Amino acid sequence: MWSGIVTAIPVTIGVRMPEAPASLDAAGSRSALVDTHGRVHRDLRISLTDRCSLRCTYCMPEQGNEWLARSSILSTDEIVRIAQVAAEAGITTFRLTGGEPLLRTDVVDVVRQVARLRTPAGAAVHVAMTTNGIRLPEFLPALIDAGLSRLNISLDTLRRERFSDLTRRDRLDDVLAGVAAAQASGLRPLKINAVAMRDVNEDEIVELVEFARAHDAQLRFIEQMPLDAGHTWERARMVTRDEILARLAARWALAPIAGRGGAPAERWTIDGGPHTVGVIASVTAPFCGDCDRMRLTADGQLRNCLFSTTEYDLLPVLRQVSEPGLIDAGIEGMLRACVRGKLPGHAINDPSFLQPARGMNAIGG
Protein backbone atom coordinates (compact mmCIF):
# COMPACT_ATOMS: atom_id res chain seq x y z
CA MET A 1 0.00 0.00 0.00
CA TRP A 2 1.34 3.36 -0.99
CA SER A 3 1.47 6.02 1.73
CA GLY A 4 3.10 9.35 2.53
CA ILE A 5 2.91 12.75 0.90
CA VAL A 6 2.88 12.68 -2.86
CA THR A 7 5.03 15.13 -4.73
CA ALA A 8 4.36 13.80 -8.20
CA ILE A 9 2.69 10.87 -9.84
CA PRO A 10 5.38 9.27 -11.97
CA VAL A 11 3.95 7.93 -15.19
CA THR A 12 6.50 6.60 -17.60
CA ILE A 13 5.54 3.14 -18.69
CA GLY A 14 1.91 2.22 -18.29
CA VAL A 15 -0.08 3.71 -15.47
CA ARG A 16 0.69 3.62 -11.82
CA MET A 17 -2.40 3.14 -9.70
CA PRO A 18 -2.12 5.41 -6.70
CA GLU A 19 -3.56 3.00 -4.15
CA ALA A 20 -5.85 0.05 -3.72
CA PRO A 21 -9.30 1.05 -4.96
CA ALA A 22 -12.32 2.18 -3.02
CA SER A 23 -12.05 2.58 0.70
CA LEU A 24 -15.30 1.06 1.93
CA ASP A 25 -16.75 1.71 5.36
CA ALA A 26 -18.50 -0.88 7.53
CA ALA A 27 -21.79 -0.38 5.67
CA GLY A 28 -20.07 -1.02 2.37
CA SER A 29 -20.31 2.63 1.22
CA ARG A 30 -17.30 4.55 0.05
CA SER A 31 -15.78 6.58 2.85
CA ALA A 32 -15.58 10.37 2.58
CA LEU A 33 -12.57 12.29 1.28
CA VAL A 34 -10.95 13.22 4.60
CA ASP A 35 -7.45 14.67 4.74
CA THR A 36 -4.80 14.10 7.39
CA HIS A 37 -6.05 17.22 9.23
CA GLY A 38 -9.60 15.91 9.47
CA ARG A 39 -11.10 18.15 6.77
CA VAL A 40 -13.91 16.46 4.86
CA HIS A 41 -13.95 17.41 1.18
CA ARG A 42 -17.36 18.17 -0.33
CA ASP A 43 -16.58 20.66 -3.08
CA LEU A 44 -14.88 20.05 -6.44
CA ARG A 45 -14.11 23.01 -8.71
CA ILE A 46 -13.86 21.91 -12.29
CA SER A 47 -12.10 24.15 -14.78
CA LEU A 48 -13.62 23.61 -18.23
CA THR A 49 -10.99 25.58 -20.14
CA ASP A 50 -8.05 27.91 -19.60
CA ARG A 51 -9.32 30.16 -22.41
CA CYS A 52 -11.11 33.38 -21.56
CA SER A 53 -12.91 36.20 -23.34
CA LEU A 54 -11.24 38.75 -21.02
CA ARG A 55 -7.60 39.33 -20.06
CA CYS A 56 -7.88 40.64 -16.50
CA THR A 57 -4.55 42.12 -15.50
CA TYR A 58 -4.44 40.25 -12.17
CA CYS A 59 -5.08 36.89 -13.85
CA MET A 60 -3.71 36.63 -17.40
CA PRO A 61 -1.04 38.27 -19.50
CA GLU A 62 -2.13 40.49 -22.38
CA GLN A 63 -0.34 38.32 -24.90
CA GLY A 64 1.92 35.31 -25.02
CA ASN A 65 -0.13 33.10 -22.71
CA GLU A 66 0.85 29.46 -23.08
CA TRP A 67 -2.45 27.69 -23.63
CA LEU A 68 -3.02 24.14 -22.53
CA ALA A 69 -2.59 21.65 -25.38
CA ARG A 70 -5.98 20.89 -26.94
CA SER A 71 -5.23 17.18 -26.87
CA SER A 72 -4.91 17.30 -23.08
CA ILE A 73 -8.26 19.00 -22.46
CA LEU A 74 -10.76 16.67 -20.78
CA SER A 75 -13.75 15.63 -22.87
CA THR A 76 -17.33 15.84 -21.61
CA ASP A 77 -17.30 12.12 -20.84
CA GLU A 78 -14.03 12.34 -18.95
CA ILE A 79 -15.28 15.24 -16.82
CA VAL A 80 -18.52 13.45 -16.03
CA ARG A 81 -16.71 10.23 -15.21
CA ILE A 82 -14.44 12.01 -12.71
CA ALA A 83 -17.42 13.87 -11.24
CA GLN A 84 -19.32 10.61 -10.83
CA VAL A 85 -16.50 8.98 -8.87
CA ALA A 86 -16.12 12.17 -6.83
CA ALA A 87 -19.85 12.19 -6.01
CA GLU A 88 -19.62 8.58 -4.87
CA ALA A 89 -16.76 9.65 -2.58
CA GLY A 90 -18.82 12.41 -0.97
CA ILE A 91 -18.43 15.49 -3.20
CA THR A 92 -21.78 17.31 -3.10
CA THR A 93 -21.00 20.58 -4.92
CA PHE A 94 -19.42 20.93 -8.34
CA ARG A 95 -18.43 24.43 -9.42
CA LEU A 96 -17.68 24.90 -13.10
CA THR A 97 -15.13 27.56 -13.79
CA GLY A 98 -12.12 28.35 -15.96
CA GLY A 99 -10.85 30.37 -17.88
CA GLU A 100 -14.35 31.21 -18.97
CA PRO A 101 -16.59 28.13 -18.66
CA LEU A 102 -19.13 29.48 -21.16
CA LEU A 103 -16.52 29.27 -23.92
CA ARG A 104 -16.91 25.47 -23.86
CA THR A 105 -19.44 24.50 -26.51
CA ASP A 106 -20.50 21.46 -24.46
CA VAL A 107 -21.10 23.44 -21.27
CA VAL A 108 -24.85 22.74 -21.15
CA ASP A 109 -24.22 19.04 -21.63
CA VAL A 110 -21.63 19.02 -18.85
CA VAL A 111 -24.10 20.74 -16.50
CA ARG A 112 -26.87 18.32 -17.45
CA GLN A 113 -24.79 15.21 -16.90
CA VAL A 114 -23.15 16.38 -13.67
CA ALA A 115 -26.51 17.56 -12.27
CA ARG A 116 -27.86 14.02 -12.72
CA LEU A 117 -25.29 12.61 -10.28
CA ARG A 118 -26.36 11.59 -6.82
CA THR A 119 -24.57 11.42 -3.48
CA PRO A 120 -24.22 7.98 -1.85
CA ALA A 121 -27.34 8.86 0.19
CA GLY A 122 -29.26 9.50 -3.04
CA ALA A 123 -29.41 13.29 -2.76
CA ALA A 124 -29.00 15.58 -5.76
CA VAL A 125 -25.64 17.33 -6.11
CA HIS A 126 -25.32 21.10 -6.60
CA VAL A 127 -23.89 22.42 -9.85
CA ALA A 128 -22.64 26.00 -9.63
CA MET A 129 -20.75 28.19 -12.07
CA THR A 130 -18.34 31.11 -11.87
CA THR A 131 -18.44 33.18 -15.04
CA ASN A 132 -17.66 36.61 -16.41
CA GLY A 133 -21.29 36.66 -17.53
CA ILE A 134 -20.62 37.65 -21.14
CA ARG A 135 -22.44 34.69 -22.67
CA LEU A 136 -25.13 34.31 -20.01
CA PRO A 137 -27.96 35.88 -22.03
CA GLU A 138 -27.35 33.19 -24.65
CA PHE A 139 -26.85 30.22 -22.33
CA LEU A 140 -28.70 30.82 -19.08
CA PRO A 141 -32.13 29.32 -19.92
CA ALA A 142 -30.49 26.13 -21.18
CA LEU A 143 -28.13 25.99 -18.19
CA ILE A 144 -31.02 26.28 -15.75
CA ASP A 145 -32.99 23.68 -17.66
CA ALA A 146 -29.93 21.43 -17.45
CA GLY A 147 -29.81 21.76 -13.67
CA LEU A 148 -27.51 24.68 -12.85
CA SER A 149 -28.27 25.64 -9.28
CA ARG A 150 -26.03 28.62 -8.44
CA LEU A 151 -24.22 31.40 -10.24
CA ASN A 152 -21.31 33.73 -9.41
CA ILE A 153 -20.56 36.54 -11.83
CA SER A 154 -17.25 38.41 -11.71
CA LEU A 155 -17.39 42.18 -12.07
CA ASP A 156 -14.68 44.50 -10.72
CA THR A 157 -15.81 47.88 -11.98
CA LEU A 158 -18.86 49.65 -13.37
CA ARG A 159 -16.85 52.22 -15.31
CA ARG A 160 -16.40 51.58 -18.98
CA GLU A 161 -12.88 52.85 -19.45
CA ARG A 162 -11.69 51.26 -16.26
CA PHE A 163 -13.28 47.97 -17.30
CA SER A 164 -11.45 48.08 -20.65
CA ASP A 165 -8.14 48.84 -18.94
CA LEU A 166 -8.59 46.13 -16.35
CA THR A 167 -9.85 43.38 -18.63
CA ARG A 168 -8.15 44.60 -21.83
CA ARG A 169 -11.48 44.14 -23.58
CA ASP A 170 -14.36 46.61 -24.12
CA ARG A 171 -17.07 44.21 -22.88
CA LEU A 172 -18.69 45.97 -19.90
CA ASP A 173 -22.09 46.12 -21.61
CA ASP A 174 -21.98 42.38 -22.27
CA VAL A 175 -21.20 41.64 -18.63
CA LEU A 176 -24.00 43.95 -17.49
CA ALA A 177 -26.38 42.14 -19.85
CA GLY A 178 -25.25 38.90 -18.24
CA VAL A 179 -26.00 40.25 -14.76
CA ALA A 180 -29.44 41.40 -15.95
CA ALA A 181 -30.14 37.94 -17.38
CA ALA A 182 -29.11 36.33 -14.10
CA GLN A 183 -31.31 38.69 -12.11
CA ALA A 184 -34.28 37.97 -14.36
CA SER A 185 -33.71 34.23 -14.12
CA GLY A 186 -34.57 34.01 -10.45
CA LEU A 187 -31.55 31.78 -9.78
CA ARG A 188 -30.68 32.62 -6.16
CA PRO A 189 -28.53 33.34 -4.30
CA LEU A 190 -26.87 35.31 -7.07
CA LYS A 191 -23.34 36.39 -6.22
CA ILE A 192 -21.12 39.02 -7.77
CA ASN A 193 -17.37 38.72 -7.15
CA ALA A 194 -15.05 41.72 -7.28
CA VAL A 195 -11.31 41.73 -6.71
CA ALA A 196 -10.48 44.88 -4.74
CA MET A 197 -7.38 46.62 -6.10
CA ARG A 198 -5.42 49.60 -4.88
CA ASP A 199 -5.64 52.67 -7.14
CA VAL A 200 -7.79 50.66 -9.54
CA ASN A 201 -11.29 50.10 -8.12
CA GLU A 202 -11.04 50.61 -4.35
CA ASP A 203 -13.06 53.82 -4.77
CA GLU A 204 -15.96 51.71 -6.13
CA ILE A 205 -16.38 49.44 -3.14
CA VAL A 206 -19.61 51.06 -1.96
CA GLU A 207 -20.90 51.56 -5.52
CA LEU A 208 -20.41 47.88 -6.37
CA VAL A 209 -22.41 46.84 -3.31
CA GLU A 210 -25.19 49.22 -4.31
CA PHE A 211 -25.17 47.78 -7.81
CA ALA A 212 -25.40 44.25 -6.41
CA ARG A 213 -28.26 45.19 -4.10
CA ALA A 214 -30.15 46.72 -7.01
CA HIS A 215 -29.77 43.42 -8.85
CA ASP A 216 -30.79 41.25 -5.90
CA ALA A 217 -27.26 39.89 -5.68
CA GLN A 218 -24.65 39.52 -2.93
CA LEU A 219 -21.38 41.32 -3.53
CA ARG A 220 -18.29 39.45 -2.39
CA PHE A 221 -14.95 41.23 -2.41
CA ILE A 222 -11.88 39.08 -2.99
CA GLU A 223 -8.43 40.02 -1.74
CA GLN A 224 -6.08 39.94 -4.68
CA MET A 225 -3.96 36.78 -4.56
CA PRO A 226 -0.54 35.95 -6.01
CA LEU A 227 -1.96 33.98 -8.92
CA ASP A 228 -1.41 36.27 -11.90
CA ALA A 229 0.29 34.72 -14.88
CA GLY A 230 2.84 37.54 -14.92
CA HIS A 231 3.86 36.97 -11.26
CA THR A 232 3.57 40.71 -10.58
CA TRP A 233 1.50 40.52 -7.37
CA GLU A 234 2.72 42.79 -4.58
CA ARG A 235 1.42 42.57 -1.06
CA ALA A 236 1.61 46.34 -0.64
CA ARG A 237 -0.78 46.85 -3.56
CA MET A 238 -3.37 44.51 -2.16
CA VAL A 239 -6.51 46.03 -0.62
CA THR A 240 -7.03 44.12 2.62
CA ARG A 241 -10.19 42.80 4.22
CA ASP A 242 -9.90 45.45 6.95
CA GLU A 243 -9.66 48.26 4.42
CA ILE A 244 -12.69 46.93 2.55
CA LEU A 245 -14.66 46.68 5.79
CA ALA A 246 -13.66 50.21 6.82
CA ARG A 247 -15.06 51.60 3.57
CA LEU A 248 -18.27 49.60 3.94
CA ALA A 249 -18.68 50.48 7.62
CA ALA A 250 -18.40 54.18 6.78
CA ARG A 251 -21.54 53.81 4.68
CA TRP A 252 -23.61 51.09 6.37
CA ALA A 253 -24.09 49.31 9.69
CA LEU A 254 -22.56 45.86 9.23
CA ALA A 255 -23.43 42.88 11.43
CA PRO A 256 -21.47 39.64 11.08
CA ILE A 257 -23.40 36.55 9.99
CA ALA A 258 -22.52 33.41 11.93
CA GLY A 259 -22.33 29.89 10.52
CA ARG A 260 -19.79 30.36 7.76
CA GLY A 261 -18.85 26.66 7.72
CA GLY A 262 -16.42 25.90 4.92
CA ALA A 263 -17.48 28.93 2.83
CA PRO A 264 -14.64 31.17 1.63
CA ALA A 265 -16.53 34.42 2.31
CA GLU A 266 -17.12 36.00 5.71
CA ARG A 267 -20.47 37.76 5.47
CA TRP A 268 -22.19 40.73 7.03
CA THR A 269 -25.75 42.04 6.83
CA ILE A 270 -26.08 45.59 5.52
CA ASP A 271 -28.20 47.91 7.68
CA GLY A 272 -29.90 44.96 9.36
CA GLY A 273 -30.46 43.01 6.12
CA PRO A 274 -31.81 41.29 4.15
CA HIS A 275 -28.94 42.27 1.86
CA THR A 276 -25.46 41.07 2.69
CA VAL A 277 -21.87 41.67 1.67
CA GLY A 278 -18.96 39.23 1.86
CA VAL A 279 -15.18 39.33 1.91
CA ILE A 280 -12.93 36.50 0.80
CA ALA A 281 -9.74 37.29 2.69
CA SER A 282 -7.49 34.53 1.43
CA VAL A 283 -4.35 36.52 2.17
CA THR A 284 -4.90 38.40 5.44
CA ALA A 285 -7.38 36.00 7.11
CA PRO A 286 -6.92 32.59 5.48
CA PHE A 287 -9.67 30.05 6.07
CA CYS A 288 -7.64 26.94 5.25
CA GLY A 289 -8.67 25.22 8.51
CA ASP A 290 -12.19 24.82 7.13
CA CYS A 291 -11.29 24.25 3.49
CA ASP A 292 -13.38 21.51 1.89
CA ARG A 293 -12.36 22.18 -1.72
CA MET A 294 -10.44 20.33 -4.40
CA ARG A 295 -9.80 21.40 -7.96
CA LEU A 296 -9.66 19.72 -11.34
CA THR A 297 -7.89 21.60 -14.12
CA ALA A 298 -9.10 21.50 -17.72
CA ASP A 299 -6.16 19.21 -18.54
CA GLY A 300 -7.02 16.63 -15.91
CA GLN A 301 -4.79 17.63 -13.00
CA LEU A 302 -6.22 17.31 -9.51
CA ARG A 303 -5.12 19.97 -7.03
CA ASN A 304 -5.80 20.16 -3.31
CA CYS A 305 -5.23 23.93 -3.04
CA LEU A 306 -5.22 26.99 -5.30
CA PHE A 307 -1.63 27.56 -4.24
CA SER A 308 -0.38 24.01 -4.40
CA THR A 309 2.70 23.31 -6.48
CA THR A 310 1.78 19.61 -6.70
CA GLU A 311 -0.71 18.14 -9.16
CA TYR A 312 -2.14 14.64 -9.50
CA ASP A 313 -2.42 13.64 -13.14
CA LEU A 314 -5.64 11.86 -14.11
CA LEU A 315 -4.95 11.74 -17.84
CA PRO A 316 -2.98 8.46 -17.81
CA VAL A 317 -5.69 6.82 -15.71
CA LEU A 318 -8.39 8.04 -18.09
CA ARG A 319 -6.58 7.39 -21.35
CA GLN A 320 -4.24 4.45 -20.83
CA VAL A 321 -6.39 2.09 -18.79
CA SER A 322 -8.85 0.05 -20.80
CA GLU A 323 -11.03 -1.61 -18.16
CA PRO A 324 -13.81 0.72 -16.93
CA GLY A 325 -13.73 -0.60 -13.34
CA LEU A 326 -10.01 0.03 -13.14
CA ILE A 327 -10.41 3.56 -14.50
CA ASP A 328 -12.90 4.40 -11.75
CA ALA A 329 -10.68 2.80 -9.13
CA GLY A 330 -7.74 4.80 -10.44
CA ILE A 331 -9.72 8.06 -10.30
CA GLU A 332 -10.82 7.34 -6.77
CA GLY A 333 -7.31 6.43 -5.70
CA MET A 334 -6.03 9.68 -7.19
CA LEU A 335 -8.75 11.71 -5.42
CA ARG A 336 -7.75 10.11 -2.13
CA ALA A 337 -4.01 10.62 -2.74
CA CYS A 338 -4.67 14.28 -3.58
CA VAL A 339 -6.67 14.81 -0.40
CA ARG A 340 -4.08 12.97 1.67
CA GLY A 341 -1.35 15.23 0.35
CA LYS A 342 -3.13 18.43 1.40
CA LEU A 343 -1.10 20.72 3.62
CA PRO A 344 -2.65 22.44 6.65
CA GLY A 345 -2.55 25.85 4.94
CA HIS A 346 -1.56 27.67 1.76
CA ALA A 347 1.41 29.48 3.36
CA ILE A 348 1.04 32.68 1.30
CA ASN A 349 2.27 34.52 4.37
CA ASP A 350 5.34 32.32 4.79
CA PRO A 351 8.64 33.71 3.46
CA SER A 352 9.24 30.41 1.66
CA PHE A 353 5.95 30.72 -0.32
CA LEU A 354 6.30 29.90 -3.99
CA GLN A 355 3.65 31.04 -6.45
CA PRO A 356 2.31 28.12 -8.50
CA ALA A 357 3.53 27.97 -12.07
CA ARG A 358 -0.01 28.09 -13.47
CA GLY A 359 -1.96 31.33 -13.51
CA MET A 360 -5.47 31.45 -12.08
CA ASN A 361 -7.03 30.98 -15.52
CA ALA A 362 -5.27 27.62 -15.91
CA ILE A 363 -5.99 26.46 -12.35
CA GLY A 364 -9.65 27.41 -12.27
CA GLY A 365 -10.74 30.24 -10.01
Point out which residues bind ligand SAM (CB under 6 A): 52, 58-59, 97-98, 100, 130-132, 154, 193, 195, 222, 224-225, 227-228, 360-361, 365
Which of helix, strand or coil describes residue 127? strand
User: In the complex, what is the shortest distance from the CB of residue 362 to ligand SAM, in angstroms, rounded to a whole number?
Assistant: 9
User: In the complex, what is the shortest distance from the CB of residue 253 to ligand SAM, in angstroms, rounded to a whole number?
Assistant: 27
User: In the complex, what is the shortest distance from the CB of residue 222 to ligand SAM, in angstroms, rounded to a whole number?
Assistant: 5
The residue among 298 and 329 lying less far from ligand SAM, judged by its C-beta, is 298
Find the largest Cα–Cα distance for the chain. 62
The residue among 132 and 218 lying less far from ligand SAM, judged by its C-beta, is 132
**Virtual CA dihedral for 151, 157, 159, 160, nearest 10 degrees?**
-60
Which of helix, strand or coil describes residue 255? strand
In sequence order, which residues have a C-beta less than 8 Å from that of residue 133 and are 6 or more positions away?
153, 154, 155, 174, 175, 177, 178, 179, 181, 182
Separation between Cα atoms, residue 222 and residue 199, nearest integer Å: 16
The residue among 33 and 151 lying less far from ligand SAM, judged by its C-beta, is 151
User: In the complex, what is the shortest distance from the CB of residue 20 to ligand SAM, in angstroms, rounded to a whole number?
Assistant: 36
User: In the complex, what is the shortest distance from the CB of residue 54 to ligand SAM, in angstroms, rounded to a whole number?
Assistant: 7
Residue in the shown chain whose Cβ atom is closest to ligand SAM:
365
Dump strand ranges (E) for the chain: 33-34, 40-41, 43-47, 93-97, 126-131, 150-154, 190-196, 217-223, 254-256, 266-270, 276-280, 293-296, 301-303, 312-313
The residue among 330 and 365 lying less far from ligand SAM, judged by its C-beta, is 365
The residue among 19 and 243 lying less far from ligand SAM, judged by its C-beta, is 243
φ, ψ for residue 267 (rounded to 5)?
-130, 150
The residue among 18 and 226 lying less far from ligand SAM, judged by its C-beta, is 226
Question: Sheet of 126-131: strands edge to edge?
Answer: 254-256, 266-270, 276-280, 217-223, 190-196, 150-154, 126-131, 93-97, 43-47, 293-296, 301-303, 312-313
User: In the complex, what is the shortest distance from the CB of residue 279 to ligand SAM, in angstroms, rounded to a whole number?
Assistant: 12
The residue among 189 and 272 lying less far from ligand SAM, judged by its C-beta, is 189
User: In the complex, what is the shortest distance from the CB of residue 287 to ligand SAM, in angstroms, rounded to a whole number?
Assistant: 14
